[in-house]
Amino acid sequence: MATVSITVNGNKVSRDVEPRTLLVQYLREHLGLTGTHVGCDTSQCGACVVHIDGASVKSCTTLAMQCEGASVTTIEGLAKDGKLHPMQEAFREHHALQCGFCTPGMIMSAVDLVEKNPGLTEDDIRHGLEGNLCRCTGYHNIVKAIAAASKTMGR
């Protein structure tokens, strides 16, 4: 066992975990933050995407120990004071989800994509989502939502 301390959604937390604990297990099983999903567990689907120090990454392919001292944001950390993040709001407004399983990862990837790339075109958005799979929507409304959020986020 080893102690891993991470700042998760602004709160500093510490847990004793086995070195083989994945970040996604740390979040879901040790912190009870089950908004981050596991879709494939083979690094393909992006359902598990969170931000580590401002970059979107697959938490199923990262050890919790690699995140010692890092700052992690999950889907639970996006809304502020009971108000949805503009990206969450855009997903709701544009009906960018059906079953919702891919949505947390999709939104975390989308927020990072928009924050780092001003003036996104539809093509940029589609390419930017290469790491996120959705089995329901056909992506159309997801792309629309991200394009809209790109504007409301002032990018």
Ligand X SMILES: Cc1cc2nc3c(=O)[nH]c(=O)nc-3n(C[C@H](O)[C@H](O)[C@H](O)COP(=O)(O)OP(=O)(O)OC[C@H]3O[C@@H](n4cnc5c(N)ncnc54)[C@H](O)[C@@H]3O)c2cc1C
Q: Footprint of ligand FES on this chain (CB under 6 A)?
A: 38-41, 43-48, 58, 60, 97-102, 134-137
Report the nearest approach of ligand X to the CB of residue 133 (Å): 11
> Is 134 or 145 the residue whose CB approaches ligand FES more closely?
134
Measured CA to CA, the distance from residue 27 to residue 34 in angstroms comes to: 7
Under rule CB under 6 A, residue 44 binds ligand X: yes
Residue 58 near another protein by CB under 8 A: yes
Cβ density class 14-36: b for 16+ within 10 Å, e for less: ebebeeebbbbbbbbebbebebb
Q: Is 40 in the site for ligand X (CB under 6 A)?
A: no
Under the binding rule (CB under 8 A), the answer on residue 131 touching another protein is yes
Query: Which H helix or E strand runs over 86?
Result: helix 86-93
Do 75 and 107 contact (CB within 8 A), yes or no? Answer: yes
Contacts to another protein from residues 81-110, by CB under 8 A: 109
DSSP track, 15-67 = EEE-TT-BHHHIIIIIS--TTS--S-SSS-S-TTEEEETTEEEEGGGSBGGGG
Choosing among ligand X, another protein, ligand FES, none, which partner's interface includes residue 100 (Cβ < 5 to 8 Å by kind)?
ligand FES
Return residues touching another protein (CB under 8 A).
2, 18-20, 22, 41-44, 46, 49, 55-58, 61-63, 65-66, 68, 109, 112-113, 128, 130-132
